[in-house]
Structure 1
Amino acid sequence: MGVISLYVRLRPKFQAMCQDTIQVQHIAQIIGPNHVVTKIKKKTIHKITPEDSTYLVIDVMEIIDAIYSDYPEADIQIVGPNQTIIEVQSHHKPRRRPFLFMFVWVLLFIGSGLAIINFHEDVTMGSVHEKIYYLITGEKNAQPLLLQIPYSVGLGLGMILFFNHVFKKKFNEEPSPLEIEMFNYQQDLDQFVILNESKKKDKEKYD
């Protein structure tokens, strides 16, 4: 048999349940001869046990070792990331807690409202509205509602447009700043998990 060329690309993340068996096809995309790829995809890489932590990291070297065990003459080309994160999920469904949800919602509502009020107090927005009203009408008014009401409505609409969300509805496909921050946070979390798990494996290897 001649040299078999295989191209392997690991998926960044895979979700699994306890007692699941992780096969190559779950965490990697492989391109090569059909009869070879079909056999490799069925190979077991890891079986999740209750002793495993919430996150596991499968290195590409484990995939290469599994391939070489059956096809030592294979020419393997790695494309993309070198690790896959296995997120182990619990069988128990999270319980809905409406009272806790309402408490957090009210807490965030009051906190954000106070933050906006304190900001306007710091920049003396009230006196700014009075001056603008005086410049436009030539009259002094301690409560220029003609400006304050549209400003308050515009502030709420501006927040909705900025975050590109009304509850679960989006105005367009453009990601919101919150989604971008969550994406960056997830990327940092994945990198931390990979480095942390790699350190654990190295420590276990040399202990």
Structure 2
Amino acid sequence: MVSTIYIRMRSRVETKECQKITLSQTAQIIAPDQYFPDLHKLVVYELKKVDNQLVVLDVMRIINIISVQFPNSEVQTIGPTQTIIEIIKDKKITSWPLFLFVWILLFIGSGLAILNFHEEVSMQIVHQKLYWIITGKEVAKPLLLQIPYSFGIGMGMILFFNHIFKKRFNEEPSPLEIEMFNYQQDIDHYVSIKENNESVKHLDVD
């Protein structure tokens, strides 16, 4: 009697260098009880030192491995057809001088960007006119409006990014997180297509 094994490939997994990748790491599995323990620890790929940071594992390779180990089974795939394995190397400790340099560079750069924007739209003149409309007095520096406005910029950035240090206000993703997610999706799509093209080239050469 033929048993059916269902697998759903994960889109991306992270692992360390030179490790054996098991089926349970790269896919979700639904299988008969007698097969499940062996499928869970079935090695589908072994990382090597020559591997790049990203390795693409195709579902056809997975099906072939399962078919060899379980000849009396039928493999059904659901969802993605490839898993991208990202090799995480040991992180180097960032020095404090480098951290401070980058922090100061970003702080000054963002400050200059805000100042240039306000100068371009004549924000000081706008504040002066608003102050005159509200109070009927003309002043060169309407601090009554400028100080709350400055604090408002900071609060607006915090609410916009939905973070203050490591604290998140709610579960809704920030626009930056969405852009980073879309960027990661584009990278994964590019890596998958490039891997397929490379495989076709190798077949043509052979």
TM-score, reference length from structure 1:
0.92
After TM superposition, the structure 1 stretch with the greater mean CA deviation from structure 2, 38-47 or 188-197, is: 38-47
- Specify the alignment match of 2:15 in structure 1: 16
Q: 2:160 aligned with 1:192, yes or no?
A: no
Q: How does 1:108-119 map to 2 (within 5 A)?
A: 108-119=106-117
Aligned residues: 205
Q: Which residue of 2 aligns with 1:95?
A: 93
Residues 58-106 of structure 1: CA deviation (Å, up to 9, x unaligned)? 111111111211333433221111000111122x331222111111111
Aligned counterpart, 1:129: 127
Quote the offset at 1:133 in angstroms.
Answer: 0.9
Paired residues for 1:10-89 under 5 Å: 10-89=9-88
In structure 1, what is the Cα distance between the partners aligned to 2:93 and 2:197? 34
SS of residue paired to 2:34: helix
CA distance in 2, matches of 1:139, 1:43: 79
Q: Equivalent of 1:162, from 148, 160, 163?
A: 160
In structure 1, distance between residues paired with 2:17 and 2:109: 39
Paired AA for residue 77 in structure 1: Q
CA distance in 2, matches of 1:54, 1:65: 24
Distance 2:144 2:13 in 1: 55
Determine the C-alpha separation between the residues in 2 that align with 1:59 and 1:67. Answer: 13
CA deviations on 1:7-43 (whole Å, 9 max, x unpaired) are: 1111111222222111212211211211122223333
- Other-structure match for 1:178: 176
Between the aligned partners of 2:144 and 2:14, the Cα distance in structure 1 is 55
Q: Which runs of 5 or more structure 2 residues have no equivalent in the other structure?
A: none
1:149 pairs with one of 141, 147, 150: 147
Asked whether 1:7 is paired with 2:3, we answer no
Identical columns (%): 50
Q: Which amino acid in the other structure matches residue 74 of structure 2?
A: D
CA distance in 2 between partners of 1:204 and 1:126 (Å)? 64
Secondary structure of 1:34's partner? coil
CA distance in 1, matches of 2:63, 2:119: 62
Using the size of structure 2 for normalisation, the TM-score is: 0.93
Equivalent residue of 1:139, what SS? Answer: coil
2 CA distance for matches of 1:206 and 1:191? 23
TM-align CA RMSD: 1.5
Report the secondary structure of 1:14's partner residue: strand
In structure 1, runs of 5+ residues without a counterpart are: none
What letter corresponds to residue 87 of structure 2 in structure 1?
V
